[in-house]
A and B are shown apart, each in its own frame.
Chain A
Amino acid sequence: MNKQNTAELRINTLPVPTWRHLKMNGCDLTVSYEESPQPLTLASLQHEGLLVSQLDTNTTSQDGSLSSFVQQKSNSSFRVVVEEGRNANSPLKLNYFLDATNPTVIDDLVVDMEPFSCATILQGYRTPIEGKATFHGGNLKAHVGSGASLTVIQLRFLNEGTTDLGYLDITVADGGKLEVVQIAIGSAQSYIGTHVELQGDGAECTVSCMNIVDRQGVTDLNVHIEHRGKRTLSTLVARGALLDEASKLFRGTLDFHQGCSQSKGSEDESSLLLSPKVKNRSIPLILCGEADVEGSHAVSSGKPDQDSLFYLMCRGIEERKARRMLVEAQLEPILGRVPDKKIQSEIRRQLARRLERDEQ
């Protein structure tokens, strides 16, 4: 057995705290993980159009943040540069498999999108359906230069023994565009933070999150989008389904700073509750220091719509299938943002497996 380590982390902190009894202001975690071999090699990441190199970070910070932890303990560290004006046609794929021989992945990725460049980065984290407890901690730091465009797709298909921590910290310059798609199915506990700063005028971002949590899984999400430049635009969409005894906490913050005039932000979160024992918590914030903006959020939570279920069953569709159709329809806005049909099929298979188990 490899050497066991522990770390104490403070993550997913709400930008503005609220009542302590709600326990939504942030998470103090103690995590344990094994030392593990390097999961990916630089040679496997050579990509036409992107400059990929080993990342060397020398931080000694003990601030308890996930990014400091990852920088110090990573076993997979890369830097990606997309040169000015370059359009990478195919996505850079970083696929990690966590299992008994490689139980820990701590990956640190820095992405520098030079002006008017374009790229897609796909990070996949997968485990066997059943198996040994594994640990993932990830940090992605990116800058999207003027007029550049970056798409980040993160897939997490993890078994019930996995602890999964992730943090994205991305800045977007004038006219830059960012799309983040995060799809997480399974895991014992998952803590994912996303911080986007729309620094430049006309910067845009779309953050889409899909979370399917089952068994006794715990999912804790924190998305914080800061509008600093003028005419910035943000869209945050979250869709989820909770099964068995799962629990989820979603924190979503649209933060309009003074000077970000004519900016717009919207947040839309919806959760399906598929068992009487689930816990669903949400705290969607709008922080506003600028008059000339438009911000909105909407949150809904409940069982699949009974009228729709009745309608489908009246058309001869059996209840189990009708219910699954409604769940898939709920998640469709996120699925549709994944450009690769093969990945879409994989997500649908993962989803079907969870729902079938729920129906048995």
Chain B
Amino acid sequence: MQAEKTRLEEVDLSRYDFIEHAEPALRLAPGLNEAVVRAISSEKGEPSWMLAHRLKSLETYHEMAMPAWGPNLDELDIGKITLYSRPKTGMNDSWDDVPEGIKDTFERLGIPEAERVSLGGVGAQFDSEVVYHKVKDEVAAQGVVYCDMETALREHEDLVRRYFMKLVPPSDHKYAALHGAIWSGGSFVHVPRDVKVSIPLQSYFRLNAEGAGQFEHTLIILEPGADLHFIEGCSAPKYSVINLHAGCVELFVGKGARLRYSTVENWSKNMMNLNTKRARVEEKGTIEWVSGSFGSHISMLYPSSLLVGEGSHSEFTGITFAGKGQVLDTGSKVIHSAANTTSSINTKSISKNGGHSITRSEVIITKAASHAKSTVSCESLMLDSISRSDTIPAMDIRCEDADIGHEARIGRISEQAIFYLMSRGLSESEAKGLIVRGFAEPIAKELPMEYAVEMNNLISLEMEGSIG
């Protein structure tokens, strides 16, 4: 335990906030128009149906209004965002083949080390394209497909066509439409029937270019009885201009299958993070979302579960830490559409130094969801009075024998608890740090050890200068 504590205090912010001056092979001019969409599709040599999908999505984007709720997105000018930037390398399956500058970026982020120590496969995306993808032999031998989306589109076109943007249609919201038009990169996973993948797979997304966007698409299909833990990591260096992330994650969980999708996200504080994540869960299947949101200037992120099979289950466990200049609007949605479905949403948020944390949730129990059960719990911690914390949970119950509970609490660090810890020899800052980490602990314990340490590191970073 002592060794772990030492690691927490040795964190260096520069691990995330460094800029790799890698010249891209291709950087499209900023702005969104049909030529940009056609150029992206042409670059990738896509089938005609995908180009048609992109063009239709572009139409939808122009037709749809900006959200009339949530954080103010006026700072986002799509005309100033570079929507596609291809690094000077193709897709590699050996670190040795990745160009030095890009390799150095991921090494500083600890990706190769994580791959060696704890992962069954890893994908790394740099700006608009995946630059490295590798799956361990024993995982590949189980029949698991783990590759970048462009490869999937070439080698598993039928599967991609069957599932791509079927859970999150471009008409879902304006930034889903944008994603449908200009998506690039991302990961594809297919786990065959009854295959249990014992070690996690991870995709890491690094947005390096200034004033750029990242629009990766993650598509995971678990056949009946399959089991997978997938981890997503995100970071970017800080610039003075707005960057945009509008990714999309679609998860299909088959009958009796189980998927855990973990995210530790540390976007830089000039990032607009307008991401969409959704899972469809069949009979007796389980989706588990574990989410740590620390970075970005503005986030709007609400992983959603559609429980369509009888006895299916969803769990969402999330923590948000909003600091200076950040508006983190996060939460989760669950739609119960079948009998005996169960769900839980547990969120924790911390606001400090002018940060604004908004926890939004939605639980819908349809008429078909007899004996459904759902619990929602939101806890918010305010570290000062220049910050804000809002909780906006919605419940729509259309079935009499559903059992629904919701509770929320908001407050500050107990002075009694600080006094107690200080009377045991801790300084005030150590006491507050310990209490905040204790607040986050129920989330941290849901992550693999390396990522729990990473999350604690991020909380330690955010606490610096706020106390004492």
Of the listed stretches A14-22, A330-338, A346-354, name the one at the interface; the rest are far from the partner chain: A14-22
CA distance A278 to B387 in the complex (A): 40
Contacts of B68 in A (CB 8 A): 17, 20
Q: Which of A46-54, A167-175, A296-304, A308-316 lies at the binding interface?
A: A296-304
Which residues does chain B contribute within 8 Å of A24, judged by CB atoms? 394
Give A22 to B302 CA distance when docked, in angstroms.
15
From A264, which residue of chain B is reached at the shortest CB distance?
B411
B385-427 residues at the A interface, CB under 8 angstroms: 385-412
Alpha-carbon separation in the docked complex, A16 to B392 (Å): 8
Interface size class of B (residues with CB under 8 A): 35 or more
Which residues does chain A contribute within 8 Å of B382, judged by CB atoms?
Answer: 288, 290-291, 293
A17→B390 contact, CB < 8 A:
no
Contact B397 A283 (CB under 8 A): no
User: Are B409 and A279 closer than 8 Å at their CB atoms?
Assistant: no
Contact B392 A296 (CB under 8 A): no
Q: Closest CB of chain A to B300's CB: distance in Å?
A: 11
With both chains docked as a complex, state the minimum distance between the C-beta of B407 and any C-beta of chain A, in angstroms: 5
* Across-interface contacts of A291 in B (CB, < 8 A): 382-385, 387, 412
A294 at the interface (CB under 8 A from B): yes
For chain A, residues 117 to 138, give those with C-beta under 8 angstroms from any C-beta of chain B: none
Within 8 A of B (CB), among A4-62: 16-20, 22, 24-25
Chain A contacts for B396, CB-based, 8 A: 22, 279-281
Assess whether B69 is interfacial by the CB under 8 Å rule. yes
Q: Is A274 in contact with chain B by the CB < 8 A criterion?
A: yes
Among A255-275, those with CB < 8 Å from B are 256, 258-259, 261, 273-275
- Inter-chain contact B406/A298, CB cutoff 8 Å: yes
The complex places the Cα of A356 from the Cα of B351 at a distance, in Å, of 51
Q: How far apart are the CA atoms of A22 and B405 in the complex, in Å?
A: 19
A286 neighbours in B (Cβ, 8 Å):
380, 389-391, 408, 410
Quote the shortest CB–CB distance from A294 to chain B (angstroms). Answer: 5
Residue A81 at the chain B interface, CB threshold 8 Å: no
Query: Which single residue of chain B is at the shortest CB-CB distance from A306?
Result: B401
Nearest-Cβ distance from residue B115 to partner chain A, whole angstroms: 38
Say yes or no: is A85 at the interface (Cβ < 8 Å to chain B): no
Q: How many residues of A sit at the interface, in one of the four size bands?
A: 35 or more
Our pick among B362, B367, B392 for the contact of A285 (Cβ within 8 Å) is B392
Q: Which of A19, A274, A303 contacts B362 (CB 8 A)?
A: A19
At the interface, yes or no: B360 with Cβ under 8 Å from chain A? yes
Decide: B392 and A280 in contact? CB cutoff 8 A: no
Known A-B contacts A22-B362, A295-B409; the reply to A301 vs B404 at CB < 8 A is yes
Neighbour of A299 across the interface among B360, B387, B405, CB < 8 A: B405
Known contacts A20-B68, A286-B391; is A293 also within 8 Å of B408 by CB?
Answer: no
A300-B408 in contact (CB<8A): no
Interface residues of B in 58-80 (CB under 8 A from A): 68-69
Q: Is B394 in contact with A295, judged by CB distance below 8 angstroms?
A: no
Total contacts A-B at CB 8 Å: 134
C-alpha gap A243/B360 in the complex (Å): 29
- Docked CA distance A282–B398 (Å): 12
B395, A303: Cβ atoms closer than 8 Å: no
Assembly CA distance A282 to B412 (angstroms): 26
A99 at the interface (CB under 8 A from B): no
A299 touches B69 (CB 8 A): no
Q: Are B388 and A288 in contact (CB under 8 A)?
A: yes
Is A339 an interface residue, CB under 8 A from the partner?
A: no
A17 touching B385 in the complex, CB below 8 Å, given contacts A280-B397, A283-B392:
no
Using known A-B contacts A274-B400, A301-B402, determine if residue A284 contacts B393 with beta carbons closer than 8 Å: yes
- Asked whether A18 lies within 8 Å of B360 as measured between CB atoms, the reply is yes
- Is the beta-carbon distance between A296 and B409 smaller than 8 angstroms? yes
Task: Determine which of A258, A276, A289 lies in contact with B400 in the assembled complex, contact meaning CB atoms within 8 Å.
Answer: A276
Closest to A251 in B: B394
Is B410's CB under 8 angstroms from A301's CB? no
Q: In the complex the two chains form, is B390's CB within 8 Å of A288's CB?
A: yes
Determine whether A179 belongs to the interface, using a CB cutoff of 8 Å to chain B: no
A22 CA / B367 CA spacing, docked (Å): 16
Contact, CB under 8 Å: A22 / B394: yes
What CA separation (Å) do A299 and B68 show in the bound complex? Answer: 27
A294–B69 CB distance below 8 A: no
Q: How far is the CA of A288 from the CA of B357 in the complex (A)?
A: 10
**Is A287's beta carbon under 8 Å from chain B?**
yes
Which of the listed residues B68, B360, B405, B408 has the most CB atoms from chain A within 10 Å of its own CB?
B408
Per the 8 Å Cβ criterion, residues 136-182 of A in contact with B are none
Query: Min CB distance, B364 to chain A, in Å?
Result: 9
Q: For residue A279, which residues in chain B have a CB less than 8 angstroms away from its CB?
A: 396-398
Does A292 interact with chain B (Cβ within 8 Å)? yes
Residues of A within 8 A of B406 (CB): 282, 284, 297-300
A18 close to B69 (CB less than 8 A): yes
Judge whether A17 and B397 touch: CB under 8 Å.
no
Whether A300 and B405, one on each chain, are in contact in the complex, defined by CB atoms closer than 8 angstroms, is yes
Which of the residues A19, A290, A297 comes within 8 Å of B69, measured between beta carbons? A19
The answer to whether B401 and A19 have CB atoms under 8 Å apart is no
Min CB–CB distance A323 → chain B (angstroms): 13
The CA-CA distance from A354 to B71 in the complex, in Å, is 45
Residues in B neighbouring A281, C-beta threshold 8 A: 394-397
Contact of A258 among B383, B385, B410 (CB under 8 A): B385
Contact assessment for A273 and B397 in the assembled complex, using a CB-CB cutoff below 8 Å:
yes
- On chain B, the residues within 8 Å of A16 by CB distance are 69, 390, 392
Asked if residues B388 and A289 are in contact (CB atoms below 8 Å), the reply is yes
Interface pair A284/B408, CB less than 8 Å apart: yes
| Among all A-B residue pairs, the 10 with the closest Cβ atoms | A291-B382, A273-B400, A17-B69, A299-B406, A295-B410, A286-B391, A280-B397, A291-B412, A301-B404, A283-B394
* Interchain Cβ contacts under 8 Å between A and B, 10 examples: A276-B399, A278-B400, A279-B398, A280-B397, A285-B391, A286-B391, A294-B411, A296-B409, A300-B406, A301-B404
Extra 7 A-B pairs, beta carbons < 8 Å, given A273-B400, A282-B394, A293-B412 = A22-B362, A279-B397, A290-B385, A294-B410, A297-B406, A299-B407, A301-B395
